[in-house]
Amino acid sequence: MASITEVARLAGVSTATASRVLSAADYPVSVATRERVLEAATQLDYVPNALARGLLKSRVPVVGVIVHDITDPYFSEVVRGVEDEAAAVGYLVITCSSERDADRERSYIRLLRSVRAAAVVFAGSGLADAAHDAEMERHLAAMRADGAAVVHLSPHARGEPEVGVDNAAGIAAMVGELVALGHRRIAYLAGPGGLYVARERRAGVERGLRGARIPIDARLMIETTFDRAGGADGIDQLLAGGRPFTAILCANDLLALGALERLAAAGIAVPEQVSVAGVDDIAFAALTAPSLSTVRLPLRELGRRGFAHAVRQLGGERPRRQVLPTELVMRDSTGRAPARALPAGLRPAATRRPAKGAA
Amino acid sequence: MASITEVARLAGVSTATASRVLSAADYPVSVATRERVLEAATQLDYVPNALARGLLKSRVPVVGVIVHDITDPYFSEVVRGVEDEAAAVGYLVITCSSERDADRERSYIRLLRSVRAAAVVFAGSGLADAAHDAEMERHLAAMRADGAAVVHLSPHARGEPEVGVDNAAGIAAMVGELVALGHRRIAYLAGPGGLYVARERRAGVERGLRGARIPIDARLMIETTFDRAGGADGIDQLLAGGRPFTAILCANDLLALGALERLAAAGIAVPEQVSVAGVDDIAFAALTAPSLSTVRLPLRELGRRGFAHAVRQLGGERPRRQVLPTELVMRDSTGRAPARALPAGLRPAATRRPAKGAA
DNA sequence: CTGAAAGCGCTTACAG
DNA sequence: CTGAAAGCGCTTACAG
């Protein structure tokens, strides 16, 4: 690959001059010289070496995005947002699926530091773990000290995200909507208790319940993982638990999908016997049967804004925190509360359930 | 951030020695010296500068993956496979959503070259376009000349992929399965005619049909985009076309999802009135109602093998081409052929359709 | 408006 | 087993 030296030679100028026309946007160079350099560059198919430049600036136009799993539609949507914005300014995006594993996260951060990524955005929420947090804080401090931008899109140990979403308000609104439909016994599949975003959403549910003067029944609040399997498990626990409920709110759509599947398998009609709702509005939420009512999060926009925030940081600004609005999307999985609450209202055929034992 | 110079100084050795213990895996260094260097490195939280190293080797441990859209579950799955394998050897993966747009693809390749990515894997299929192909070939030749690895996971202008899947065999098998279920009038939503993978799949369908001695009816072969909207459009065209059919095979699952939605909206029962099948087996294929019969492609494995192939290329090997097997997954969207074929068998209520006009 | 030269942080012959 | 030195491809004061 041709280097700037070769371009300079072909154009009959010094590398300094070549560099100035090729990268310093507004450095004064005579028109004739400029043209000769440009001509030489295209002739040699010159592609600037970002490593050499990065070595000088100790920063390369690359942003790392730490996600739980790029395969999870929540995260691929956020990454796409980052990518759209990044592409516009010539940045490349590195995807890091950490599986919320401290070791993987650590090693990704290290690699990102080693390539001198200009920015890192944490798309997912932090997992409460003091030791890991402390170490992560050290890494991030080092990155920042080196001039890199760090942006969070979800709550974490070190506080609120630079660009986020009002999880609590969104889900509280959904509680309100369910209450308006006549539901008073609302079960909640809460996601992992250690995840900050899950805590925030749970707080929103409790706020919504309190707002409707509905006492919080701890036995209807189930901790789960954050995937479809968690949704199925949650349903099993609720049915086994024996506490009546007419609606199931899920801390995210994946949980709701799992719940819907499990409910269908048990022959329980949605929304006739139970209403189900989620949070996120991933692409597939509109395609389930019945289609899923959910709290829409502006995922792609979150990614876009997150990257834009990083760019501003890099530019020396101290951009202000942003909270993007959520939106209720009521589809077919929610309806008026039935006369008889589950699990008492279960049809005999559906009472079969795993022998896990009741609470 | 501490440099190797500082580590060397703290350890009381030359940078050459420090470099040798820190990176040259098996260079002979006395145990005592080695320990002092390692000690100094951890004490200073030394993170090697991949840019400096990359500048020397003119290659950085980073792989770019060109996808159509990271948000498409097909591609996020492949990317995850690449990532899993890459993480194991300390490589980072850069995601490039090109939207199959020549300009975006071009600019991504340029950026990838500028950061001296060690490898680039093309996850998606090429789009037939002579001018673009020629330019791409130039870029790739330049990358290869510079020692970078280039791997394709799908057919393209320059031929067969280094690691691929037998698209034609997979879909031909699905045709066979439908024939076994009594279908003889099989419609096909073919995807974009310009896409090599779509051509390959179409050839598979035709092969399957010929194998069953079923004449190919061009009016049942519909060109579409490769997304849900294309599936819906395809259904509209088939219904408007008036040619009888009892099954609809789709060139990918996204198309099948769109078809399923449109069919449901039209009140047509699947599989009672029509069978529907796809290709890919994306995660959601199991969750549709009815669940989708499809040709499973080992997407994650494709990504893994693709990256492994690149690594071998980088190691100077000339690894052989691989074709991964596909697998038929029959779920609930396919069944025995009905007595009356669509669209003649349509219930009156479902004949309403867009005023697009018939073929 | 232009150029000579130093230096970013590494690795690697070359010499000892 | 260890070190001095050159050089990868850029950018940027500094001088003119």
Query: CA–CA separation, A8 vs A14, rounded Å?
Result: 6
Based on its alpha-carbon atoms, the radius of gyration of chain A, rounded to whole angstroms, reads 26
Closest residue, CA to C1' of D7: B56
CB atoms within 10 A of CB B267: 12
Q: How many whole angstroms separate alpha carbon B152 and alpha carbon B127? A: 13
In whole angstroms, give the CA distance from residue A109 to residue A103: 10
**pLDDT, position A349:** 41
Task: Tell me whether residue A195 is exposed, middle or buried, using C-beta atoms within 10 angstroms of its C-beta: 0 to 12, 13 to 18, 19 or more.
Answer: buried
* pLDDT for residue A143: 87
* A85 vs A92: CA distance, rounded Å: 10
Place of tokens 């834009």: A308
CB proximity list for A9: less than 8 A, separation 6 or greater: none
Bridge partner residues of A165 (DSSP): A324
Q: Which of A157-166, A227-236, A268-277, B138-147 has the lowest mean pLDDT?
A: B138-147
Query: Is the shortest CB-to-strand distance from A43 to strand D under 7 Å?
Result: no
Residue B158, pLDDT > 60, answer yes
* pLDDT band for position A28 (cuts 50, 70, 90): confident
CA–C1' span, A221 to C13, in Å?
A: 68
Tracing tokens 């389930």 back to the chain, one arrives at A288
With 0-12 CB in 10 A as exposed, 13-18 as middle and 19+ as buried, what is A286? Answer: middle
The residues close to strand C, meaning Cβ under 7 A, are: A 12-17, 20, 27-30, 32-34, 52, 55-56, 58; B 1, 3-5, 15-16, 18-20, 22-24, 46, 48-49, 52-53, 55-57
Alpha-carbon gap: A341 to the closest alpha carbon of chain B (Å): 26
> What is the rounded average pLDDT of the residues A344-349?
55
Contact check, Cβ <8 Å, A115/B92: yes
Contact B83 A94 (CB under 8 A): no
Predicted local confidence at residue B27, as pLDDT: 87
Q: From the CA of B206, how many Å to the nearest CA of chain A?
A: 31
Would you call A76 and B92 a contact, using CB atoms and an 8 Å cutoff? no
Residues of B with Cβ-Cβ distance to A51 under 8 angstroms: 51, 54-55, 58, 60, 115-116
Confidence of residue A346 (pLDDT cuts 50, 70, 90): low
**pLDDT score of A353:** 44
CB atoms within 10 A of CB A317: 10
C1’ C14 / CA A90, Å: 42
Nearest by CB to A142, from B1, B97, B113: name it: B1
Q: How far apart are CA B241 and CA A12, in angstroms?
A: 67
pTM: 0.93
| Over residues B228-239, mean pLDDT | 96
Confidence at residue B346, expressed as pLDDT on a 0 to 100 scale = 63
Of B51, B71, B284, the CB nearest to A77: B71
Confidence at residue B282, expressed as pLDDT on a 0 to 100 scale = 94
Alpha-carbon span B165 to A52, nearest angstrom: 39
**Residue B216 structure tokens:** 């190919």
Beta-carbon contacts of A350 under 8 Å, excluding residues fewer than 6 positions away, are: A266, A267, A268
Strand D closer than 7 Å to the CB of B23?
no
Q: How does residue B356 score in pLDDT terms, banded at 50, 70 and 90?
A: very low
Token couple for B254: 């996204």
Taking an 8 Å cut-off on Cβ atoms, the answer to whether B288 and A289 are in contact is yes
pLDDT over threshold 50, residue A357: no
From chain A, the residues in CB contact with B51 under 8 A are 51, 54-55, 60, 115-116
Q: What are phi and psi of B281, to 5 degrees?
A: 60, 60
pLDDT over 90 for what percent of chain B? 80
Residue in this structure with the two tokens 């024996």, named with its chain if needed: A242
CA angle, A199 then A204 then A207, to 5°: 125
Question: What are A187-224's pLDDT values in tens digits?
Answer: 999 999 999 999 999 999 999 999 999 999 999 999 99
User: What pLDDT shows up at residue A355?
Assistant: 40
- DSSP, collapsed to helix, strand or coil, labels residue B352 as coil
> Mean pLDDT throughout B33-59?
93
Distance CA A108, CA A114 (A): 10
Q: Measure CA of the first residue to CA of the last residue in chain B; give whole Å.
A: 68
For residues A341-357, give the mean pLDDT.
Answer: 54
| A160 membership: H or E segment, kind and range | none
Lowest mean pLDDT among A42-46, A131-135, A299-303, B106-110: A131-135
For position A359, what pLDDT does the model report? 33
Does A9 score more than 80 pLDDT? yes
Please state whether beta strands B117-122 and B60-67 pair in parallel, antiparallel, or not at all (unpaired).
parallel
A70 contacts in B (CB within 8 Å)? 70, 76, 79-80, 83, 95
Span CA (A211) to C1' (D9), Å: 64
CA B353 to chain centre: 34
Residue with tokens 């995200």: A161
pLDDT at A153: 97
The neighbouring-strand residues paired with A195 are: A127
Chain B residues within an 8 Å CB radius of A22: none
pLDDT over 60 (residue B98)? yes
Bases of chain C with protein Cβ within 7 A: 1-13
Q: Give A203 or A27, the one with higher predicted confidence.
A: A203
Q: Reply yes or no on whether the pLDDT at B132 is more than 90.
A: no
Contacts by A99-107 with C-beta closer than 8 Å and gap 24+?
A99/A68, A99/A69, A100/A68, A100/A124, A100/A127, A100/A195, A102/A127, A102/A129, A102/A132, A104/B87, A105/A66, A105/A132, A105/A136, A106/A132, A106/A135, A106/A136, A106/A139, A107/B87
Contact A27, A38 (CB under 8 A): no
Q: Count the neighbouring beta carbons within 10 Å of the beta carbon of residue B46.
A: 20
- CA distance linking residue B41 with residue B11, whole number of Å: 9
Mean pLDDT for A302-318 is 95
Backbone angles phi, psi at B309, to 5 degrees: -60, -45
Please report the pLDDT score of residue B276 as a whole number. Answer: 98
Q: What is the pLDDT of residues A247-272, one digit of tens each?
A: 999 999 999 999 999 999 999 999 99
Q: Residue A17 CA to D14 C1' — how many Å? A: 15
Q: Measuring CA to CA, how many Å separate A30 from each of A18, A21, A26, A27, A46? A: 12, 10, 12, 10, 21
pLDDT tens across A46-81, in order? Answer: 999 999 999 999 899 999 999 999 999 999 999 999
Average pLDDT, chain A: 92
The C-alpha of B110 sits at a distance from chain A's nearest C-alpha, in angstroms, of 7
What are the phi and psi torsion angles at A120 (to 5°)? -135, 130
Q: Tell me whether residues B93 and A92 touch, CB distance under 8 A.
A: no
Beta carbon of B5 within 7 Å of strand D? no
Residue in B3, B47, B45 with CA at minimum distance from that of residue A117: B47
Q: How far is the CA of B118 from the C1' of D10 (A)?
A: 20
pLDDT at A243: 94
pLDDT at residue B345, as a whole number = 60
Mean pLDDT of A286-310: 96
Q: d(Cα B340, Cα A148) in Å, to the nearest integer?
A: 66
Structure tokens belonging to residue A94: 């590195």
Element (H, E) at A315: none
Q: Say if CB A61 and CB A115 are below 8 A apart.
A: no
Contact B50 A257 (CB under 8 A): no
Q: Count chain A–chain B contacts defined by CB atoms under 8 A.
A: 140
Taking the stretch 45-64 of protein chain B, residues with Cβ within 7 Å of any atom in nucleic acid chain D are 52, 55-56, 58
Asked if residue A41 keeps its beta carbon closer than 7 A to nucleic acid strand D, the reply is no
Phi, psi of A31 (to 5 degrees): -60, -45
Greater confidence (A333 vs A24) lies with A333
Average pLDDT, chain B: 92
State both tokens at B250: 């789709």
> What is the predicted pLDDT for the residue at B347?
54
Report whether pLDDT(B115) > 70.
yes
Question: In terms of Cα–Cα distance, which of A250, A172, A168 is closest to A210?
Answer: A172
Side-chain-side CA neighbours of residue A230 (13 Å): 19
- Residue A347 binned pLDDT confidence (cut-offs 50, 70, 90): low
Instruction: State percent of chain A over pLDDT 90.
Output: 80
Structure tokens at B61: 């441990």
Asked if residue B306 has pLDDT above 70, the reply is yes
Reported confidence tier of residue A350, pLDDT bands at 50, 70, 90: very low
